[in-house]
Amino acid sequence: MLEARDAHVVEPIANFWWIMKKKKMIFICENPNNIGDLFLLLQNLEFTGDKDILALLRTYGAIAPHIRKPLEDRGVKLVDGRNALSFLVACWGSDVVIGGGQMIRDNVSLRGLAILFVGLVLTRLSGGNVKTRGMGVSPIRKKLLKMLWKKVLQLCDKVVVRDIASVANGSRLVARPKIELAADMAFLPSKQNKRLRNAADARPTQSGCVIIAPCIDEEREMGGTAFNDLVAALKQVFPSSKFVILCHDIREEMDKRAARIIKSQSGLGDAQVAAPHDLDTVLSYYEQAHFVVTNRLHSAIFSLLSGRPLLVWADNSEKLNGVCAEFYIPSLKNDDTAEKIKETLAASLSFNRNQRDAALRNKVELSRKNIY
């Protein structure tokens, strides 16, 4: 369970000792309760460089204890982004890193974005840098949010984005020369990344699993007749493999809810629902996966890094559409026929490994542009 209030959030007024540290760096990321976002945060921490830097993480809600603990073990202090005074005091004299993840989007708090803008102004006034890393940029349609996002991006040293769609969307917010195309931070070689790359050289054991990593919300879905047909086809191909519905976001209203929907509607009543609170356990599932079905970006990336056969459930996600095109990943959607499902599944299993490895090497090189 997530705690209603995070008792470990730093209150700067009562903890001036860390404000006086020689160097500070504030990380602005998405929700660490999401394993993909946690992976990106750990990537950032690994590439901080200076061991004497005090790492601060802006939070915007409670963090599960099992996720918070490894961060605290690394010396990370939490700053409540909802507390304007706490966050603004922390920004003075700090450097700031924004990203990775789908940071620039419409469904954010106007108040929270305004606080972020003022904090970045204070960072700049006190001599700090504002860096961005592997950001995803969605179309921004709300006028006030668009105005604020423009101001935020103008304060950044440069705007480093992770895909072509983000270049196009970002160009509507800031001058194109300020935008640099990199890749998602998850592709950047690191300790976490190396573990998955090593798995690509080993075959999963006979007791491996078929992973279904879903995201179901007001904009995205995984289900319906076509999905049920896919599940039936997978059971024929992998008759002795256990099916695991792997929750990347451990909050009850997110992937756990999606798992309940899939179990009840898609002939997977006996599937294991896994909602690990730690990255090691999540990565171990990918190491032992025979096959992965997902509509989550970082599930797709973990599958690519570990060399696993992969099929994307298409739900009009720009970021996933781009990955499918670059890595030649087959995809299915709700209105596909049973025949199309069988053909696509066969294509997923017989993917061209050399072709995919070449695309992966390109992404790795692009991901290095995040560190500057």
Query: Residue ranges per domain, the chain?
Result: 9-182, 191-363
Q: Indicate the SS3 state at residue 101.
A: strand
Spacing of C-alpha 136 from chain mean position: 10
Structure token digits, residue 160: 């480093």
The answer to whether the CB of 251 falls within 8 A of the CB of 362 is no
Q: What is the pTM of this model?
A: 0.92
Cα distance between residue 178 and residue 153, in whole Å: 9
Q: What is the number of residues in the chain?
A: 372
As averages over each run of 10 residues, the pLDDT of the chain (372 residues) reads 46 50 85 93 86 88 87 90 92 95 94 97 97 97 97 97 97 97 96 89 82 85 90 94 94 90 91 90 94 97 96 90 95 93 96 96 97 89
Helix axes 110-125, 143-154, angle to 10 degrees: 20
Q: Which residues pair with 28 in a beta bridge?
A: 98
Structure token digits, residue 355: 């072709």
Q: Is the C-alpha dihedral spanning 29, 285, 319, 49 positive or negative?
A: positive
> With DSSP H G I counted as helix, E B as strand and the rest as coil, what are the percentages for the chain, rounded to 5?
45, 20, 35
Report pLDDT for 321.
92
Pick the CATH number of 191-363 from 3.40.50.1820, 3.40.50.720, 3.40.50.2000, 3.30.160.160: 3.40.50.2000
Structure token digits, residue 232: 């039936």
Q: DSSP labels for 40-96?
A: HHHHHHHT---TTPEEEEEESS---HHHHHHHHHTTPEEEETT-HHHHHHHHTT-EE
Do the two domains 9-182 and 191-363 of this chain adopt the same fold? Answer: yes
Report pLDDT for 21.
52
Report pLDDT for 6.
47
Report pLDDT for 117.
98
Strands (E) across the chain are located at: 9-10, 24-28, 54-59, 77-80, 95-104, 130-137, 159-161, 179-181, 209-213, 242-246, 272-274, 289-294, 310-313, 331-332
Instruction: State yes or no: cis peptide before 100, omega within 30 of 0.
Output: yes
Cα distance between residue 231 and residue 68, in whole Å: 35
Cα distance between residue 255 and residue 190, in whole Å: 27
Q: DSSP labels for 273-287?
A: EE--SSHHHHHHHHH
Report pLDDT for 206.
72
What is the CATH number that goes with domain 9-182?
3.40.50
Report pLDDT for 287.
93
